[in-house]
Chains A and B, each alone.
Chain A
Amino acid sequence: MAIDDRAILVGIARYRDSDSFPTLDGPLNDIERVRDWLTDPQGAAVPGDNVVTLTTPRELLALPGTGWPENTVWSPNAWSFSQEFNKIAFDPKGEPLRRKSRLYLYFSGHGFSLSEDGYPSAALFSADNYGSVHSNLAGSVYAAAIKRAGLFSEVVLIMDCCRDVFGNFTYNPPSFNRVENSAAENTKVYALYAAPRRGKSQERELPNSNGKVVGLMTDAFLRALEDAPSDVAGCVAGQVLTRVMTYNWANWYPVNPLPPAPRSVPPDQGDIYFKSRRMLNAVTFTSTTALAPGSTLYLRSDLWNAVAKVGASSLIWRDTAYSWEQEIALSQSADGGQQFTLTLAAGIHTLILGTAPYSFDPGVSNAIAL
């Protein structure tokens, strides 16, 4: 379990200014689906207590007969998000906790980008916007600030909102200082936006959404986690996930006009990996003799060709087309040899060690003697 991972999920279905921000049917359903995935032990495996949800309160969902009382608190808003974020990122004294784990930031609602953006960015309008009074939940700015401050080692930012471009706003900054941490460059940020700049996100009822209206991008993200080819560790690389969404977008959502496919921004270095939602099998390979450091193993499946370099205590596997890379631990077996375990989908696989090929089906056999 990703015991120290954290998540903040924001879904805004109703806004104070309902003329400018029409009520949305999808965000609360999206939050439910994303939360289910996050807390599923077979999904992201984030402990339920570590997932904070900020959604439109029930009392704001039904229109009052005589208008909203003056003291109505419209949430989620920039302040409530900031409070929740600070609780998980800072200790009671305001000192950064700097967790060596992943933070999921998920936003669903009305959003925008700025005309001056020089980099893919977006923010969600706070529920309390009205007239010229504006504030926002700037997911992209938070992600950048988290990286700068080294508050988490990985950030997954998902923004299922429109990216209409405005020039007369500014992103609300996080409420912590801008001190840059030396570990900042190690923090990986994977960002996923529902649309390219100026693009619209869409919500609608889908065949698999049990009669509920859901965001297309959120649906595509969850669906891609099931459909994407997983690697030797049973994970899906962020860049693969993006391509699965992009290349299947028109097939999955045959609507006219076709909305633009989601936009993603990969980390500066490496990639972020998600646990596959496919049915996978653990296969343990055991060698009676130690694998020679520097030697090479090859593995072919229906989905990819992979190659591994043997190290002192691990194997570095990667797809030959550089879609992913995984380090798999090498351990000592009972008879003095070595063993390692791969998590693979069912189907014929062939492993080559030295000159010997070993064919197997992970759906049938879970132990291979080399």
Chain B
Amino acid sequence: MPSPFEPENEPLEPDAEGRARARDDDGSEAPAPATWQIPGRENVRVRFTSSAAASELYLINRSYALIAEGVGVLDLELEPGPYKIRQRIGYCESVQDVDVPEHSASMDVELPALAFPSPIPLPGTSLADAGLPRPFSLGAGNFRFVLRAPIEPGSQVDEGTAEHMREEMRCLRIECFDGSLCWPMHEARTLSEAPGVLVFDTTLPAGAYVIVQQREQRRQLCLPVLIMPGSVTAVFSLALKDETVPGDERLSVAVQLDHAAIAILSADALELPYEGSLFRLEAARKGLGAGRRVYGWSSPDDVDNILLSLMDVQLGLRSVTAPVNEPGQVGPGQDQPVPQLDSAGLKARVELLRAQLEQGNADVSALGYALNLTGAKARGPALTAPPLLRRSWDQLLATAGGNALLCELMEFAFQTEPSSTWLLWSEVPGVRKAALANLPETGPAQTDEIGFAGHLPQITVMSAVKDILVSALHLGRRVINSNLKRKRLAEDTEDHDKPMSIDNVEAILAALIANKAFITWLNQLQLEFQADDKVFADESMNRLFHSLRTLCDPNLVSMLGPKAVARQLLTTLRLPQRRVIELVKELIRWVVGKVPDSERQIILAALQQAADSVQIWLKAGKG
């Protein structure tokens, strides 16, 4: 007999914009998702459209089965009946009930705009001021930093907020990546046509730059940006107040570079309607930051929006490499297959990006490694600048070749900072310039008794940390995983008799953790230092030290074993391997210098047993 079911909810071909369509059923298993055949009742072609085609869309039927998901627009053929369509951008979302009526040929559902917060003053976002000029009309030149206080249309910022904004701009500057040239932002100007906005704008030669934010006396936060020929780079940030405190007691919140919106548009596009593209850029940025798997924000007919393309490829890549764990999505082991990655399409888009960006662009290199366009061990072109995206950084770290490239590029003491979308690192003022511009180091690091920032040896060869850092690609659980394995691909080279490898330092650290004399001393030290004390000038050293204090819990060590604890400790640094080696060596030197004489020989003997070369490089002193 004929099946009483007919195909239900059949997705149409991708539209001209090439937006992703995904369905949640299994085409390989018979029968396909089906509907009850009722005479005279036919499927209805339904098109769901979100504002600016920017929302992630998820459609469920009456049984709460996920029928389709995608970005911006869904074109489907649906059985008449009740549905729920969920749209979201970042953590903003709404759900709408939709009844697909019988006896209708087609139906268009225009979803209400999702007013999500964005630093870019885009119409339709929750913090936009309708009276403001277009985003790229704020300022001139090929670089703009726009700091904006959300205010009611027609009103002015209060003096306290204005002073806070000026103070924040005084903490900011843009400088060449090598630190050779610097443009402080303290001369940011107000715009008469845009109340509540401070703009620093200038024209810079094309190249790699870093936005530097001075947060502490001896610490600064760095956000890499690119200036591309024929393009304008704009960074938008918000001056906010702590809304959890009532009334006038609200404190102004420091500018959060991780939450900044960065847009790089072709100068030719600035006269075009680019707002929709920026809307999607922000949606993609929030999706990337939230770890989403849906992709399809960029389209061929969009304005030239290089960052949107970059983020979209990253999201596409994630759709197959990440575990499925979003609400409403099914696990890879379940009956339904996850949407197939258009690998060829992604690779083609990476090649397109490669053609648009200069050779040695770190974000493109990272995609090359992640998509196997470049072999994991192969050395791609030398990087000209750090990646803009945090995910690119993690992807580069995860391969031997990428790790080596990063190490060559970042030849200075730094610590990557927790961030969701952009790569952020912190550093001691002056160390980058001293290392990259070959200038003598100046700055407060030298005055620190135990600081070693800037004294790191020149980096030549890197080994791989593929396995310990593979979690950067979110391929699995990383919580206290004693089964982490590391491939020993290459030794580092140093001016000591015997080069140290990451395995050596891990063994040394494990020996230290297993040493009772050290643990006893460390426990005594607990009383001396608070968890957030800055014991070292170098933030990475502080993190290593405080992580060591935390992880040297006797129960944890006995449970996992010292080697697993040591490995976990090193993994959490998220730094190129060579720098990890240097940090551990410096920590050991510090410990050996600090412990009482009575304990020193015991500890040294244990370390010597773990690695013969300990004595050699301890004697060799710094670097």
Chain A positions within 8 Å of B, measured between CB atoms, are: 114-121, 132, 134, 138, 140-141, 144, 165, 167-173, 175, 177-178, 196-197, 199, 228-229, 239-240, 242-251, 260-271, 298, 300, 302-305, 307, 318-323, 325, 350, 352, 354-355
Contact = CB atoms under 8 A, between A and B. Distances in A.
Contacts of B31: 307, 320
Contacts of B66: 243, 321
Contacts of A354: 1
B125 interface: no
A118 B66 CA distance: 25
**DSSP majority for the A interface?**
loop
Contacts of A303: 62-63
A318 B29 CA distance: 12
A262 B291 CA distance: 15
B324 interface: yes
Contacts of A266: 324-325, 330-331, 334
B26 A118 contact: no
Interface stretch (B222-230, B280-288, B443-451, B477-485): B477-485
Nearest to A249: B95
Contact of A116 (B34, B63, B333, B572): B572
B408 to A, nearest CB: 25
B476 interface: yes
B5 A298 contact: yes
Contacts of B105: none
Contacts of A319: 63, 65
A271 B334 contact: yes
Given A169-B550, A170-B551, A307-B31, A228 B64 contact: yes
B133 to A, nearest CB: 29
B476 A247 contact: no
A325 B335 contact: yes
B36 interface: yes
Interface stretch (B48-56, B552-560, B604-612): B552-560
Contacts of A244: 64
A116 B4 contact: no
Contacts of A196: 91, 290
A263 B329 CA distance: 11
Nearest to B325: A265
B94 A229 contact: no
B63 A304 contact: yes
Contacts of A120: 325
B1 A261 contact: no
Contacts of A245: 327
Of B291, B328, B330, B475, the most chain A CB neighbours within 10 A belong to: B328
A121 B91 contact: no
Nearest to A113: B479
Given A170-B551, A247-B64, A355-B1, A119 B323 contact: yes
B520 interface: no
18 contacts: A118-B475, A144-B477, A144-B479, A165-B418, A167-B572, A168-B550, A173-B555, A173-B556, A178-B482, A229-B64, A247-B84, A251-B95, A303-B63, A304-B62, A305-B34, A321-B63, A322-B26, A325-B335
A168 B549 CA distance: 10
Contacts of B477: 118-119, 121, 144
B513 to A, nearest CB: 13
B426 interface: no
A260 B91 contact: yes
Interface string B1-15: 100110011000000
B95 A229 contact: no
B299 interface: no
B333 A323 contact: no
Contacts of A239: 328, 330, 334
Contacts of A168: 531-532, 546-547, 550
A322 B25 contact: yes
A261 B327 contact: yes
Nearest to B533: A132
A246 B91 CA distance: 12
Interface residues of B, number: 70
A173 B560 contact: yes
Contacts of B325: 119-120, 263-266
A243 B568 CA distance: 35
Of A169, A170, A229, A354, the most chain B CB neighbours within 10 A belong to: A170
A243 B60 contact: yes
B331 A141 contact: no
A250 B66 CA distance: 18
Interface in B30-67: 31, 33-36, 60-67
Nearest to A271: B334
A237 B550 CA distance: 40
Contacts of B547: 168, 170
Contact of A268 (B4, B36, B333, B550): B333
Given A132-B531, A263-B327, A268-B333, A321 B480 contact: no
Interface string B347-370: 000000000000000000000000
Contact of A248 (B36, B95, B324, B474): B95
Contact of B327 (A246, A269, A300): A246
Of B93, B324, B526, B568, the most chain A CB neighbours within 10 A belong to: B93
B404 to A, nearest CB: 23
Contact of B480 (A170, A177, A350): A170
Given A196-B290, A199-B91, A247-B86, 15 more contacts: A116-B571, A118-B475, A119-B477, A141-B479, A171-B479, A178-B482, A178-B560, A243-B66, A251-B95, A267-B331, A268-B332, A270-B333, A305-B36, A321-B33, A322-B25
B74 to A, nearest CB: 16
A115 B531 CA distance: 16
Q: Which 3 A-B pairs have the closest CB atoms?
A: A321-B65, A118-B471, A304-B63
B259 to A, nearest CB: 12
B478 A171 contact: no
A172 B5 CA distance: 52
A270 B86 CA distance: 24
Contacts of B336: 322
A260 B89 CA distance: 12
B5 A307 contact: yes
A346 to B, nearest CB: 16
Contacts of A265: 323, 325
A260 B60 CA distance: 19
A96 to B, nearest CB: 16
Contacts of B62: 229, 302-304
A119 B479 CA distance: 8
Interface string B307-330: 000000000000000011111101
B586 interface: no
A173 B334 contact: no
Nearest to A173: B559
A344 to B, nearest CB: 13
Nearest to A265: B325
A262 B482 CA distance: 30
Contacts of B543: 167
Given A168-B546, A355-B1, A140 B91 contact: no
B474 to A, nearest CB: 5
Contacts of B546: 168
Nearest to B529: A132
Nearest to B333: A269
A175 B479 contact: no
Contacts of A320: 5, 8, 31, 33-35
Nearest to A177: B559
A196 B543 CA distance: 26
A271 B331 CA distance: 9
Contacts of B5: 298, 305, 307, 320
Of A167, A270, A271, A323, the most chain B CB neighbours within 10 A belong to: A323
Contacts of A167: 418, 543, 572
A300 B63 contact: no
Interface in B467-500: 471-472, 474-480, 482
